[in-house]
Structure 1
């Protein structure tokens, strides 16, 4: 496993913990994890990316892992601004964004707000931030956090770990990561996620995009909405990861990494800009 260098960034009411690896002048890939996961969910991607010459950043989204406490309400918009601030910490103006589930929404939000900062977008197990939802689905999405508020912590950890991964090791990781959020934190993050959608029928992703999901992803409407989202995006490529669930990059890292590197080689590859002041080794 590649050794990553730990850092912290001050944020209002908390500290954001993040890790870097790879050549300082390589194209930057910023990895954002899903709900109740943490930076470790990209461990299987760090080695192949750094070996291919990319600078990699992973981080714990506020309220997750070591990025505690979670003061006030959680919002995807605030998380996107933290992601942009991390880009600045490395002296970069642009990056490739790789996001899983919640992290996919955070990455899409940053792209929506600051398109000039994003070289390419890769999402895993995610829905479109901007595709309009029916009234009934909007209501169900808003009410979904209550399910976890009304159930036990033990049930939450079991449901999340078994519902996100198919690989036994990935399930053990998901259970451990989820256990690091208390019930209140989990509810507040889910509540913020349920308010993140930006219905915009005319919006299209303005940069190269790779949309992926696991073959057996059963989380929400990811699988059901995938084809419509792919067909909507003129700049989008897609991949269904075989023998994988919601955490597809963990369940089948060999397939996922191969497709990821092919995509990055086509759209990023040579000619990467150099950072003005990447201060960290």
Structure 2
């Protein structure tokens, strides 16, 4: 795990982050549930080298960011953390890149406080405001109880295998999931579900880019993201041979789409 040199103290947590600084337009990378900031290493470096001010961080309870003893992971706290990081760094309408849970968070931040975001780039994440079928609602309610029944010793491998297509990325995901205590992981999963809040007619208040691994079978992403793109009248960028962690399964292809959006 790459060392994150900077810290930001928050209620119930200590966040770790990195910031290239500089005068370029800012882009903030927010990783997905259970993993850490290193999943965006290739895209972070490319944004930095292209002259952008690049920021990445570990969500509370993930990677190098601490979740204080006795504090549970909540979506509201993670959302406030992201807003606080943007404010702490004095970023003006940065582009927000979010993967999975990170994608849910950046959607919600733009929905509540769209002045904080200049652009959204959502990777392998479901549509927070999108309509849900009866079956999708059923599986959303069942997800956390189902995961709770899986033994802690088996959960990291099962989740990792479902998250990636390439052996190195599967192993990365397994190591990340193995570091997180099962009760925290279940809270993280519940938090992700809490951010799904259908609102008919809602459209993104800022420019939006959608990226999905062609082999992503997590939740309803494979069906929700095409519907989302159609509703917004934009292209959905589907990355061949990539799973849920598309930025690592196919780093060059994902980087190309992100840089094109940032430019």
Q: TM-score, normalised by structure 1?
A: 0.88
What are the within-5 Å matches in structure 2 for residues 57-96 of structure 1?
57-69=55-67, 71-96=70-95
**Secondary structure at 1:9 match in 2:** strand
Task: Call closer, same or farther: CA 1:4–1:178 in 2, change over 3 Å.
Answer: closer
Q: TM-score, normalised by structure 2?
A: 0.94
Deviations along 1:127-148, whole A, 9 cap, x unmatched? 1110122344223212211122
- Would you say 1:248 and 2:246 are equivalent positions? yes
Cα shift at 1:4? 7.4
**Secondary structure at 2:17 match in 1:** strand
**Secondary structure at 1:256 match in 2:** helix
Q: Name the residue aligned to 1:120.
A: 119
Q: Name the residue aligned to 1:149.
A: 148
Cα shift at 1:174? 0.6
Give the root-mean-square deviation of aligned CA atoms. Answer: 1.6
Q: Distance in 2 between matches of 1:12 and 1:117?
A: 21
- Residue 49 of structure 1 is aligned with which of 47, 50, 59? 47
Q: Distance in 1 between matches of 2:132 and 2:203?
A: 16
**Secondary structure at 1:217 match in 2:** coil
Q: Which segments of 5 or more consecutive residues in structure 2 lack a partner in the other structure?
A: none
The answer as to whether partners of 2:25 and 2:94 remain within 8 angstroms in 1 is yes
Deviations along 1:46-89, whole A, 9 cap, x unmatched? 21111101111111111211222254443323212111110112
The answer as to whether partners of 1:73 and 1:192 remain within 8 angstroms in 2 is no
Deviations along 1:208-249, whole A, 9 cap, x unmatched? 111010011111111122211100114x44200111001011
The answer as to whether partners of 2:4 and 2:16 remain within 8 angstroms in 1 is no
Deviations along 1:33-52, whole A, 9 cap, x unmatched? 11101111111112111110
The answer as to whether partners of 2:5 and 2:16 remain within 8 angstroms in 1 is yes
The answer as to whether partners of 2:128 and 2:197 remain within 8 angstroms in 1 is yes
**Secondary structure at 1:244 match in 2:** coil
Task: Call closer, same or farther: CA 1:126–1:64 in 2, change over 3 Å.
Answer: same
Cα shift at 1:31? 0.7
The answer as to whether partners of 2:216 and 2:243 remain within 8 angstroms in 1 is yes
Q: Which segments of 5 or more consecutive residues in structure 1 lack a partner in the other structure?
A: 266-281
What are the within-5 Å matches in structure 2 for residues 253-264 of structure 1?
253-264=251-262
**Secondary structure at 1:66 match in 2:** coil
Q: Name the residue aligned to 2:176.
A: 177
**Secondary structure at 1:153 match in 2:** coil
The answer as to whether partners of 2:40 and 2:247 remain within 8 angstroms in 1 is yes
Cα shift at 1:197? 1.6
Cα shift at 1:262? 1.1
Q: Distance in 1 between matches of 2:143 and 2:115?
A: 34
The answer as to whether partners of 2:28 and 2:55 remain within 8 angstroms in 1 is yes
What are the within-5 Å matches in structure 2 for residues 29-48 of structure 1?
29-48=27-46
**Secondary structure at 1:210 match in 2:** strand
The answer as to whether partners of 1:74 and 1:191 remain within 8 angstroms in 2 is no
